[in-house]
């Protein structure tokens, strides 16, 4: 089907813009017309590589504003992007046309009796966590509170509580969704279940979520958490420990112990470490981190303590790992089956070290992460129950190449692509030896965590065996491809 190309809105007349302004209560900020000090900060993104000069930014104050803006977008065939927490690795919340920026819609209300939270579509994970913690409850969100619930929920969402309660999307009970014609509908198991299926892992392919209703979980607010780092000569020992940690500790903790292997760079050397998080008292937590302590971490600098769960997700503590001058990056992932081939991990770390050594100053805060989570709760949900396709037990390998200069963007993107392609080839070989398919036959699940990707992966790698249903739903809910920023599925293909 031929669709007219979406336009960036630079051709809109003053009268058109007045019509838009009068149809919404929220602010309409226009490039070249609104004051620069108002316009420019609205373009900021966590990953500065994806800052784009949008022509129009609408800041809705209500669901009606969202609806009116979408109708305007449809009438003028505008290019449109949705921004919530503005925290994506790739750039789907940026564009040259119109941005629907949800930052003013962050109200959260918690129902203590029902153990639910209703959050407006622009809420940050931290807004929901804080509101729930006040009354002894917790939502499932990701590792940091600054992430928008819009992106993380529609993309799947993994956090420390996922081993106990599943994905962020698995804890979604209902949503209100603004469709491509501006109408607002409810998506839940009872109403529009096909849409509900699609927004749990299908991203923004079918509409903009104006309100999320989440299941909350009763919990003590305190957890035992911290970080342990080691000298460079212990890299191999740390890698060798990963299978032990996974099999004998994480998988025996009833989902309470989550642990991420991490490499950071210090003084040009790769430093291994483990981020640990235990949902229980210190005495119990200490048993789970024993093998890490036995390996002799570096002090001072290493340690775990009892903290509020919301403290462990507080973005402020991670800011040190992402200094503002290093704000261009690409994140990408693949997953290796257990028991992990330590040889693959060692080769991956070795390659990472070589890459960083080519530009030690520019790449000095880059990271590699090895997510050693218990995925049995996530994989207990059938793969075709939601659009999310990465329901697989395995260690997620995440590459975060982070640099400081715009001139390096192209080169670094390419280096990261080549790097992950190489790692995937090793993993594929390993999977073949273990009889585990890369995508498809084994469990039909993908090995890519699409929320941490360069935005440029094949649709089959993102949606796996759910791609066919995604296409069907796209034909029903967005045949005109209004929502075309986060892994847009073409409705045309059979
Ligand atoms: C430092 C950091 C840590 C992270 N940690 C984790 C983690 O622990 N676990 C995890 O799962 N992910 C994690 N992520 C990835 C994160 O979940 C995604 O980047 C997510 O897309 C961010 O959501 P956002 O709303 O902030 O993004 P934005 O950039 O605002 O939006 C990105 C896209 O999400 C979609 N979207 C946003 N809001 C809505 C909405 N209301 N309705 C429909 N679609 C919407 C749109 O396609 C939008 O373009 C992390 C990212 C970063 C940068």
Q: What is the pLDDT of residues 178-223, one digit of tens each?
A: 999 999 999 999 999 999 999 999 999 999 999 999 999 999 999 9
Of 79, 121, 150, the one to substitute when testing ligand 1's pocket (max ligand atoms within 8 A of C-beta) is: 150
Task: State the closest ligand 1 atom to the C-alpha of 168, by its place in the atom list counted from 1.
Answer: 11
Q: 192 CA to middle of ligand 1, Å? A: 24
Q: What are phi and psi of 438, to 5 degrees?
A: -70, -55
Question: Are the beta carbons of 321 and 367 closer than 8 angstroms?
Answer: yes
Of 58, 103, 144, 152, the one to substitute when testing ligand 1's pocket (max ligand atoms within 8 A of C-beta) is: 152
* Cα end-to-end distance, the chain, whole Å: 12
Under-70 pLDDT residues of the chain? 437-444, 493-494
Task: State the closest ligand 1 atom to the C-alpha of 315, by its place in the atom list counted from 1.
Answer: 1
Fold classification of 14-101 is: 3.30.43
Task: State the closest ligand 1 atom to the C-alpha of 155, by its place in the atom list counted from 1.
Answer: 21
pLDDT for position 326: 87
Task: State the closest ligand 1 atom to the C-alpha of 204, by its place in the atom list counted from 1.
Answer: 44
81 in contact with ligand 1, CB cutoff 6 A: yes
pLDDT for position 437: 63
Instruction: Give the architecture (CATH level 2) of 108-219.
Output: 2-Layer Sandwich (3.30)
Task: State the closest ligand 1 atom to the C-alpha of 84, by its place in the atom list counted from 1.
Answer: 30
Cβ atoms within 10 Å of 52's Cβ, excluding its own:
14
pLDDT for position 442: 46
In the chain, where the domains are located: 14-101, 108-219, 222-434
CA atoms within 13 A on the CB side of 214: 36
Query: Distance between CA atoms of 152 and 158, rounded to whole angstroms?
Result: 8
Average pLDDT, the chain: 94
Query: Distance between CA atoms of 460 and 45, rounded to whole angstroms?
Result: 28
Of 44, 58, 66, 84, the one to substitute when testing ligand 1's pocket (max ligand atoms within 8 A of C-beta) is: 84
Determine which residue's CA is closest to atom 39 belonging to ligand 1: 150
pLDDT for position 300: 93
464 in contact with ligand 1, CB cutoff 6 A: no
pLDDT tens for 112-161 read 999 999 999 999 999 999 999 999 999 999 999 999 999 999 999 999 99
Q: How far is CA 329 from CA 93, 404, 456, in A?
A: 16, 9, 14
Question: Are the beta carbons of 36 and 27 closer than 8 angstroms?
Answer: no
87 in contact with ligand 1, CB cutoff 6 A: yes
Fold classification of 222-434 is: Vanillyl-alcohol Oxidase; Chain A, domain 3 (3.40.462)
202 in contact with ligand 1, CB cutoff 6 A: no
């Amino acid at each position: 089907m031929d669709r007219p190309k979406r336009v960036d809105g630079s051709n809109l007349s003053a009268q058109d813009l007045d019509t838009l302004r009068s149809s919404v209560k929220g602010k309409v900020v226009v490039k070249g017309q609104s004051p620069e000090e108002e316009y420019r900060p609205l373009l900021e993104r966590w990953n500065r590589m994806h800052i784009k000069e949008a022509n129009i930014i609408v800041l809705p104050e209500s669901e009606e504003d969202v609806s009116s803006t979408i109708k305007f977008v449809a009438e003028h065939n505008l290019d449109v992007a949705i921004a919530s927490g503005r925290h994506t690795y790739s750039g789907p919340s940026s564009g040259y046309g119109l941005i629907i920026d949800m930052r003013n819609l962050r109200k959260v209300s918690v129902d203590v009796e029902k153990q639910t939270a209703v959050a407006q579509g622009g809420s940050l994970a931290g807004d929901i966590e804080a509101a729930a913690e006040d009354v002894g409850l917790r939502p499932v969100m990701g590792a940091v509170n600054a992430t928008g619930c819009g992106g993380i929920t529609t993309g799947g969402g993994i956090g420390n509580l996922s081993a106990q309660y599943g994905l962020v999307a698995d804890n979604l009970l209902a949503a209100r969704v603004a469709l491509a014609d501006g109408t607002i509908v409810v998506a839940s198991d009872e109403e529009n279940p096909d849409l509900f299926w699609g927004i749990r892992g299908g991203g923004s392919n079918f509409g903009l979520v104006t309100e999320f209703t989440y299941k909350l979980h009763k919990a003590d607010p305190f957890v035992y958490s911290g970080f342990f780092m080691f000298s460079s000569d212990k890299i191999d020992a740390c890698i060798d420990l990963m299978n032990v940690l996974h099999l004998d500790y994480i998988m025996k903790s009833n989902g309470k112990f989550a642990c991420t292997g991490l490499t950071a760079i210090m003084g040009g050397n790769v430093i291994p470490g483990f981020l640990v998080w235990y949902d229980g008292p210190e005495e119990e937590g200490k048993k789970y981190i024993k093998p890490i302590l036995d390996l002799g971490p570096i002090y001072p600098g290493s340690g775990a303590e009892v903290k509020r769960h919301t403290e462990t997700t507080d973005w402020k503590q991670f800011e040190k790992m992402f200094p503002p001058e290093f704000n261009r990056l690409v994140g990408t992932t693949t997953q290796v089956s257990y028991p992990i081939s330590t040889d693959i991990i060692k080769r991956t770390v070795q390659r990472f070290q070589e890459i960083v050594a080519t530009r030690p100053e520019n790449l000095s805060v880059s990271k590699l992460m090895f997510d050693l989570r218990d995925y049995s709760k996530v994989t207990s949900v059938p793969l075709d129950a939601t659009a999310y396709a990465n329901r697989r037990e395995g260690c997620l390998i995440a590459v975060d190449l982070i640099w400081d200069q715009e001139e390096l963007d192209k080169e670094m993107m390419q280096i990261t692509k080549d790097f992950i392609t190489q790692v995937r080839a090793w993993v594929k070989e390993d999977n073949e030896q273990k009889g585990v398919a890369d995508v498809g036959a084994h469990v039909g699940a993908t090995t890519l965590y699409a929320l941490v990707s360069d935005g440029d992966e094949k649709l089959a790698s993102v949606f796996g065996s759910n791609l066919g249903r995604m296409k069907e739903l796209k034909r029903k809910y967005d045949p005109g491809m209004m929502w075309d920023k986060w892994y847009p599925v073409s409705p045309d293909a059979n």
